């Protein structure tokens, strides 16, 4: 299931229900699979998306790609939501993280 999540991170519609449907299990069964990991399905999606965004923002070869485009690339198409989520996870807004990573 984690491979499916990774392969579909760019899809803004990726959710527990789409993951469950792709694996022919109920949403409840999907949540039970993740229970032992200490992370919810939605939390796992968020974490993986933010990890990919963090990698891209720290990549000098992508320094000209707008911050909002990086968020959208990983399924976070609303720039304000992306910025708030990134800040809550990383501790700084995406643009500030990029500046600090590339300096």
User: For 15-61, how does the pLDDT look when each residue is reduced to its tens digit (9 = 90+)?
Assistant: 999 999 999 999 999 999 999 888 999 999 999 999 999 999 999 99
Q: What percentage of the chain carries pLDDT values higher than 90?
A: 90
Q: By C-alpha distance, which of 31, 32, 36, 33 is closest to 15?
A: 31
Please give the pLDDT value at position 36: 84
Are 61 and 100 a contacting pair, CB within 8 Å? no
Token pair listed for 62: 């992508």
Mean pLDDT of 62-83: 97
Please give the pLDDT value at position 49: 97
Please give the pLDDT value at position 37: 84
Helices (H), the chain: 2-7, 16-22, 27-35, 41-57, 67-73, 79-90, 94-102
pLDDT at 81 over 90: yes
pLDDT in tens, 91-100: 999 999 999 9
Q: By C-alpha distance, which of 70, 68, 69, 55 is closest to 102?
A: 55
Please give the pLDDT value at position 1: 83
pLDDT at 103 over 90: no
DSSP 3-state of 9: coil
Token pair listed for 3: 């491979």
Could you tell me the domains of the chain? Answer: 2-102 (1.10.10.60)
Distances (CA, A) of 80 to 17, 28, 29, 72, 93: 24, 31, 32, 11, 10
Model-wide pTM > 0.75: yes
């Amino acid at each position: 299931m984690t491979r499916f999540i990774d392969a579909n991170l760019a899809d803004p519609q990726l959710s527990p229900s789409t993951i469950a449907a792709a694996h022919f299990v109920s949403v409840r069964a999907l949540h039970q699979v993740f229970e032992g990991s200490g992370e919810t399905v939605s939390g796992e999606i968020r974490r993986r998306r933010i990890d990919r965004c963090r990698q891209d923002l720290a990549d000098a070869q992508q320094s000209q790609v707008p911050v909002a485009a990086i968020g959208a690339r990983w399924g976070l198409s609303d720039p304000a939501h992306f910025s708030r989520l990134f800040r809550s996870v990383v501790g700084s807004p995406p643009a500030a993280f990029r500046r600090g990573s590339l300096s």
